[in-house]
A and B are shown apart, each in its own frame.
Chain A
């Protein structure tokens, strides 16, 4: 049985382009919980050697909702490598092996202190770049269906939306028992362009999911991002937006449901560089059983980003007395002429709403179910039906398996 390190060295033996990232990872090492940003991660249970199998184990069947999504415009990505594509006119795909970033800085500098991003840069089989040509309007959402058949899945995806274009993407992660899934994504949204993105993670409860994404927004660009986290033992999802062009706007909605001993760890950084940029963050989640969640959001406003309007809202629902939620909003403002706001709530289901439903004859258990489903439904307006039914299945499962105390 290989160790993670020997598997990595075998893979990188003849590949100088990726070796630099591996060497930097070895230098940086894994994070520990004494690192503030990793404080809530169950790193004591973590060992890379558990994920040392880089070779596909089986030809696992594609998940139900994955298969449904593949019926339309889509890309099937297995263990981070493109397997099949079905893309509309104006959308192209290419892949290259070398680590890459859409940022202006060199890639290893860009991710120098992020151990898992470095692992991705070293071990992802490809940088997958999907380009929407300028002036293209893509009418149907394009699904990126990720499947995992090995012990690790390092997917690296770049989506580039040209000026004056509109496109909608659905990223879907399912299955992957006992696997380490580390997606590293970047999105570039051109002038006057709009990118709509639904990322849904429904991995097995034994998987580890450590994802990071960054949007780079040009003048009057719009990035509307919805992140849905349901699976994995540890689900970490960091989503940043760099608002580089005047009047760029970012709407980010994160939704999660924790159960068992899951940890749901959401991090965001909205980096306002240009004037009249706007960010809207809404994070809503529910934690049941012994699960816990943390939301850490940073709004950072550069000098010169005048008339920035940045808002963060975070609502957490506690469904058991042993579940736990933390909310840590942060502001770092270097400009005076800005508008910033944040609000957060943590608590059980609303007592009055519950009573209202019950006063119509809805039984207490059904009232809970309707309200918890409703909590998510509200966040899924506009999402593809495959995603909505996946979320409903998970809510129903959690309510059946977990004792929900109110």
Chain B
């Protein structure tokens, strides 16, 4: 059983404090959803946890099984078991997905597991021959993120609006794969989303509402329904 603990995390971007003290604890196999209006700091949280350049931590801590994540570089954090799946995965011309996976430390037969995972999320095999995220549609990029996630099997995955811009079929494929990950290797998921529809496939244990850089409410899956009905206004910090 692994544990991701975030305590009073504060961070700035371009001199502006965007995270103003975030605390949350999650365990292996759990699904936590983070919802909130644009600009509330959701993506900043994802980026700060995965050491995106351009963000500065002002205080607080983040640990994975007691390991101080904030003291590690991006690569070491991933190797400690934390991986980010992105809303807009970066294109890396010239680098093939298989070379990325092998360099990232994929165990066993990486080629075989990459192919199997691609088939599982409905990513056409020939797209694995293209350079990482180059010439892929929005939906294909997110399926490709799922392939990486499933081959690398992190202890915790942060999903930064992985559902944005997906059609119904793609949303289902992505949601099902993530849901299976929580059972297959007990992956914990921190899902940042605007929409309840992902949470219909991926049932959250906890829903957090963020506003102005803070978590202003936490509750069960029913909180997502309330948000959809009433909007974020009642929760504004």
Contact = CB atoms under 8 A, between A and B. Distances in A.
Interface residues of B, number: 30
B95 A357 contact: yes
A350 to B, nearest CB: 8
B53 A355 contact: yes
B53 A351 contact: yes
Contacts of A374: 92-95, 131
A364 interface: yes
B61 interface: no
Interface in A360-406: 360-364, 366-367, 370-371, 373-378
A358 interface: yes
A10 interface: no
Contacts of A375: 93-94
A370 B100 contact: yes
Interface string B82-94: 0110100111111
Contact of A358 (B75, B86, B132, B152): B75
Nearest to B79: A361
Interface of B: 50-53, 73-75, 77-79, 83-84, 86, 89-95, 99-101, 103-105, 131-132, 148, 152
A57 interface: no
Q: Which of A362, A364, A366 has the most CB of B within 10 A?
A: A362
B51 to A, nearest CB: 7
Given A355-B74, A364-B75, 18 more contacts: A351-B53, A353-B90, A353-B91, A356-B86, A356-B132, A358-B51, A358-B73, A360-B104, A361-B79, A362-B103, A370-B99, A370-B103, A374-B93, A374-B131, A375-B94, A377-B94, A378-B93, A378-B131
A379 to B, nearest CB: 8
A359 interface: yes
A371 B93 CA distance: 8
Contacts of A351: 53
A352 B95 contact: no
16 contacts: A357-B100, A357-B104, A358-B73, A358-B78, A359-B77, A359-B83, A360-B78, A360-B100, A361-B152, A362-B75, A363-B75, A371-B95, A373-B95, A374-B95, A374-B131, A375-B94
Contact of A364 (B73, B101, B131, B148): B73
A226 to B, nearest CB: 15
Interface size class of A (residues with CB under 8 A): 20 to 34
Nearest to A363: B75
A363 B76 CA distance: 8
B130 to A, nearest CB: 11
Contacts of B92: 353, 356-357, 370-371, 374
Contact of A361 (B83, B93, B132): B83
Contact of A359 (B78, B93, B95, B103): B78
Contacts of A361: 75, 78-79, 83, 104-105, 152
A353 B73 CA distance: 15
Contacts of A357: 92, 95, 100, 103-104
Contacts of A364: 73, 75
6 tightest A-B CB contacts, nearest first: A374-B94, A361-B78, A356-B90, A358-B74, A361-B104, A378-B94
A238 to B, nearest CB: 27
Contacts of B53: 351-352, 355
Given A371-B94, A374-B93, A378-B93, A359 B74 contact: yes
A77 B74 CA distance: 51
B103 A363 contact: yes
Q: Which of A357, A366, A375 has the most CB of B within 10 A?
A: A357
A353 B99 CA distance: 14
A74 B189 CA distance: 58
A375 B51 CA distance: 24
B141 to A, nearest CB: 12
B94 A367 contact: no
Contacts of B104: 357, 360-362
Contacts of B95: 357, 370-371, 373-374, 377
Contacts of A377: 94-95
A353 B88 CA distance: 12
Contacts of B132: 356
A377 B96 CA distance: 10
Contacts of B74: 355, 358-359
A359 B94 contact: no
A356 B152 contact: no
